[in-house]
Structure 1
């Protein structure tokens, strides 16, 4: 019987997507960099990296925007990026008008548009001009003076208009807000301006836009959230908005505080990739009690971008549209997919069935065929996508080896079922308090198969660095009995305490800082090398292979400097540990393979030639004879035989 996938493969493109249309947030990502150009952002400072060089916060923000665009050219060529500057007196030219008048003292430096090399080179030229003349940014984008500032409500409204006119409706839209001012409205009428800013931000988020704030905090000017932004930006935790205290900064959504401006790009890269839901399905707790959840993948492998076919139209090149068409060989006509049926191959034909084209003929009514809907029902067992709660177990019953596949992370979706966030939060807190896990029957996509999963609750956590683990459930697919095999270990040995302490000493010396592994800091070297070459080609730059740095390569010199003596002490402890010696595998002595005897005398070869039995000799024996006579030894065995016969016949 052929593999199951050989005959039931259904095209995903015709699959009806899940009920929630927000899952269809396309693969396009739109980022609008909203950069403050106030006097403090343009104030010149000493560059922390280069000596006798001046910089400013606005330069660092534009440089980060340029770096993100250069990276997205490779990783997301279909994405779009724009740059909006506020608190500047520069007015928009007619050519840059986006169809809607932008609020006063806001300037669209780059409208929302697909990524392109000329667009990025425009920013590079601006940054290079600033390096030559530190007053270039002030001349290009004069800041508001005398303490005047644009109302943040106008800034959010301008962002809304720019995204509305330039971003596709199905794209994931985000605004990267970069500023160093923690109290933009401190004068009279501040309360009204705060309410206006919060209202316009709600309008912005309801149109599908996410605001990612990046606040610049320095020793001279620390950033205080409680002055303005804690009452404006929306909360991001599992609490209903009606229960939120606007004066409590702890409920503020994730925000980045950049104490070192040169780290702005590093912080921004964590938010570069949009959080796209893999599925959005209902979660049935009991009959009549359903809430909405979204599922996210926590581990995703980044691969090389897919190549495209182009059509040469003479004056320009256009991307070719790839289309798959099924053709009936007999009629040489296109077949409608809806009329296609699926069945299993019944095997090859026998000798008596040569007239039937190589397959066994089955009488009508004897061979089953299935429609595409039948095949889907076989896979899904007739279930609709969703999660169904089956019961609870103690947390201790979930073993480490039960996690054999990547888990998913589910989060409440208030847009599909009202009250989902509150119900989800209550279930999460109750399971954490009672130390329970949930058992669910899961079907995440229409083309997937039902799976039993464990629901592992996770509380919201925040460490000293400000990194927050969100509250939610890990959806862990449970293995079948034959997915786990017992290891063939008959006897185990434990190291002594001295050996353990010696190992612990050098491990502590070489541990990662803060106990966390940031994946963005150690890119895949093969992928990074590939992308660096593409980037150099796109921008017409020379690529220097020697300048490429593999960040994953171990720093051997530093390792020896930090823990060289500790490693030697540990190796000595292992060598003297009795349990290590007893656990050492015994090497069995095996006999060496005897080399075949290829020496054959010339008399024996002449005798075989006379008896016409030269073909009984091996290739090596023939080569040895020919080599001794100064003849060529190349070619197959028949060539060697012909050469030997020719030599002996002479």
Structure 2
């Protein structure tokens, strides 16, 4: 992730970029109550157990995608030994580590084996009331404290779990005032509170108190001098949605690039934008270190490359130069000459320059998608007025169904390219632009030849297959399309499960290879299993109406096999005739 520091000294002074890594810290903060130790009607387990399982899953996922993420967990209204003012530190805020994961995993195992109970581990004391003011100050100190060998957190979140909608602070006007100031201090420290207010039909959660407190602390002043609300959503949720919401909220926004968007170079009219990563590719086994044993201690290897003469073995590293081949000629270019070539495009290290506009239907095609798109939003912290300018551009482009065509490069060491800047559509949850790279002529390749099935599409069999296919689809609820992005990568999950079990010394279940266990770990298999089970159920049914699905599947397979075998025979006959 990058942060931009700009020295506004005119056009000749290009923006400077200050790089820093995302270091996210998340604290689970749980208020104990009688309801937390009970099983709600819509959840087959104790609410507190669901929260702890969610915490372990967040830690597990953080190791896969962001291993430097900090995780902590605190309980308040707790009378356990070691608690101060009713606040118990179960896990201090530290980067994800084996000790914290093992402590939580062992606790969940003990609860599962009935070795201990929730009330023993986290005793709820009705007589002792924890102060929200003290709690939030303590959590702020957790984020701001210095930890040896660990960087400061620059993305800070508090996950607040509670079903208590009327704490004692709600009836004390003076305490409310002090609490508002504390929330303001949290906001000034860029600490965001994400509330999880658990309610039910029998006891709906009244969010008026927290809505008042959190909104006041998260209000932003607009350029017009008015306030707009940009705080957390305080709507209550059902207990069964705790895990789903928490896993979604823990994901951070990953900044891919920051650069100026030059709208008119002659008048030096430009805005600043940020591009967020929408898709990243995590690979199993790609994150590792090479170490060696030194007196019983593991030390990391520092690699150094040397170039040796193939005949004599002489070290020729100082004399190695980079050459570019042009026909039979080798052209040598120094680093200064390469940098001069890059400066010919623009004086900026990274930039995007507006070229013009074009109808979206005529410039955005699926077959032109040669790299991941970025989600682009304005950045007012560099050039003031960027939000207003980009908002106006967004409205006009969406109204006219056009896209902006821009030229530039996203990083200092990348080559300039053409991009389309397309506004998000009405069905998109986010409002912004999608930046998609356009291929040049040199990058476009010919499509492979495909078999022409003109004879098939013109006969009655094909028409029958279309009708049967439409009928088959109607048997399933396919209102929402199958999106692979909504499903976990089974290879990645298995890789980290093995590491997790080795680290925490989890015994291998003899039934780990069973169908039931595989379905738990592969979301795609679950979907396929559900479709298959419905077809088999139809085949075993004596009811003619329910058996229709199975009969249609048999008819479809019969037609497909007949046509496929016919095509295969004709292709083989054509090959023999050529011989």
TM range (shorter): 0.7 to 0.9
What SS is found at the alignment partner of 1:300? coil
What SS is found at the alignment partner of 1:469? coil
Aligned residue runs from structure 1 range 100-499, under 5 A? 104-130=85-111, 136-143=117-124, 145=126, 148=129, 150-151=131-132, 154-165=134-145, 166=147, 168-169=151-152, 172-182=155-165, 184=167, 185-189=169-173, 192-193=177-178, 195-205=180-190, 209-229=191-211, 232-233=214-215, 243-246=226-229, 252-253=231-232, 258-261=237-240, 263-286=241-264, 287-305=267-285, 306-318=287-299, 320-326=300-306, 341-344=321-324, 368-376=331-339, 378=341, 382-383=345-346, 384-401=349-366, 403-405=368-370, 406-458=372-424, 469-481=429-441, 483=444, 485=446, 488=449, 492=454, 493=457, 499=465
Report the Cα offset of residue 59 of structure 1: 3.0
Report the Cα offset of residue 535 of structure 1: 1.7
Q: Quick one: structure 1 residues 499 and 546, their matched pair in 2 at CA, closer, same or farther if it must change by over 3 Å?
A: closer
Between the aligned partners of 2:374 and 2:316, the Cα distance in structure 1 is 41
Report the Cα offset of residue 444 of structure 1: 0.7
Report the Cα offset of residue 437 of structure 1: 1.3
Confirm or deny: 8 A CA contact 2:162 2:198 kept in the other structure: yes
Residue in 1 that maps onto 2:9: none
Residue in 2 that maps onto 1:546: 513
What SS is found at the alignment partner of 1:589? helix
Residue in 1 that maps onto 2:499: 534
Residue in 2 that maps onto 1:38: 32
Q: Quick one: structure 1 residues 41 and 371, their matched pair in 2 at CA, closer, same or farther if it must change by over 3 Å?
A: farther
Report the Cα offset of residue 89 of structure 1: 5.1
Deviations 1:371-426 (A, max 9, x none): 23433555675433122222222233234335422211112223323333333223
Aligned residue runs from structure 1 range 589-604, under 5 A? 589=573
Q: Quick one: structure 1 residues 300 and 197, their matched pair in 2 at CA, closer, same or farther if it must change by over 3 Å?
A: same
Bigger mean CA deviation after superposition, 487-496 or 153-162: 487-496
What SS is found at the alignment partner of 1:45? coil
Report the Cα offset of residue 243 of structure 1: 4.7
Between the aligned partners of 1:379 and 1:310, the Cα distance in structure 2 is 39
What SS is found at the alignment partner of 2:436? strand
- TM superposition score normalised by structure 2: 0.75
1:25 matched to 2:21: yes
Confirm or deny: 8 A CA contact 1:18 1:445 kept in the other structure: no
User: Structure 1: where are the runs of 5+ without partners?
Assistant: 1-16, 94-101, 349-365, 462-467, 594-650
Between the aligned partners of 2:181 and 2:210, the Cα distance in structure 1 is 12
Q: Quick one: structure 1 residues 20 and 116, their matched pair in 2 at CA, closer, same or farther if it must change by over 3 Å?
A: same
Deviations 1:157-182 (A, max 9, x none): 32221012146226544333333344
Between the aligned partners of 1:370 and 1:572, the Cα distance in structure 2 is 67
Between the aligned partners of 1:172 and 1:549, the Cα distance in structure 2 is 35
Between the aligned partners of 1:422 and 1:529, the Cα distance in structure 2 is 47
Q: Quick one: structure 1 residues 575 and 535, their matched pair in 2 at CA, closer, same or farther if it must change by over 3 Å?
A: closer
Between the aligned partners of 2:503 and 2:360, the Cα distance in structure 1 is 53
Confirm or deny: 8 A CA contact 1:19 1:281 kept in the other structure: no
Confirm or deny: 8 A CA contact 2:75 2:89 kept in the other structure: yes
Aligned residue runs from structure 1 range 568-579, under 5 A? 568-569=551-552, 572=555
**Over the residues paired in the alignment, what is the CA RMSD in angstroms?**
4.3
Q: How many residues align?
A: 522
Between the aligned partners of 1:591 and 1:325, the Cα distance in structure 2 is 54
Deviations 1:475-503 (A, max 9, x none): 11112235164675777547977654432
Report the Cα offset of residue 471 of structure 1: 1.1
- TM superposition score normalised by structure 1: 0.68
Q: Quick one: structure 1 residues 539 and 126, their matched pair in 2 at CA, closer, same or farther if it must change by over 3 Å?
A: closer
Q: Quick one: structure 1 residues 409 and 341, their matched pair in 2 at CA, closer, same or farther if it must change by over 3 Å?
A: same
Q: Quick one: structure 1 residues 516 and 145, their matched pair in 2 at CA, closer, same or farther if it must change by over 3 Å?
A: farther
Q: Quick one: structure 1 residues 372 and 212, their matched pair in 2 at CA, closer, same or farther if it must change by over 3 Å?
A: farther
Between the aligned partners of 2:224 and 2:218, the Cα distance in structure 1 is 7
Between the aligned partners of 1:170 and 1:194, the Cα distance in structure 2 is 24
Deviations 1:101-122 (A, max 9, x none): x9x5444322222333332222
Report the Cα offset of residue 217 of structure 1: 2.9
Residue in 2 that maps onto 1:622: none
What SS is found at the alignment partner of 1:421? helix
Between the aligned partners of 1:500 and 1:239, the Cα distance in structure 2 is 56
Q: Quick one: structure 1 residues 107 and 312, their matched pair in 2 at CA, closer, same or farther if it must change by over 3 Å?
A: same
Between the aligned partners of 1:129 and 1:500, the Cα distance in structure 2 is 56
**Structure with max Cα Rg:** 1
Residue in 1 that maps onto 2:5: none
Confirm or deny: 8 A CA contact 2:143 2:153 kept in the other structure: no
Report the Cα offset of residue 524 of structure 1: 2.5
Between the aligned partners of 2:180 and 2:447, the Cα distance in structure 1 is 63
Q: Quick one: structure 1 residues 183 and 46, their matched pair in 2 at CA, closer, same or farther if it must change by over 3 Å?
A: closer
Residue in 1 that maps onto 2:571: 587
Q: Quick one: structure 1 residues 32 and 590, their matched pair in 2 at CA, closer, same or farther if it must change by over 3 Å?
A: closer
Between the aligned partners of 1:160 and 1:196, the Cα distance in structure 2 is 13
Deviations 1:542-570 (A, max 9, x none): 23441541523331233444697346437
Between the aligned partners of 2:384 and 2:134, the Cα distance in structure 1 is 31
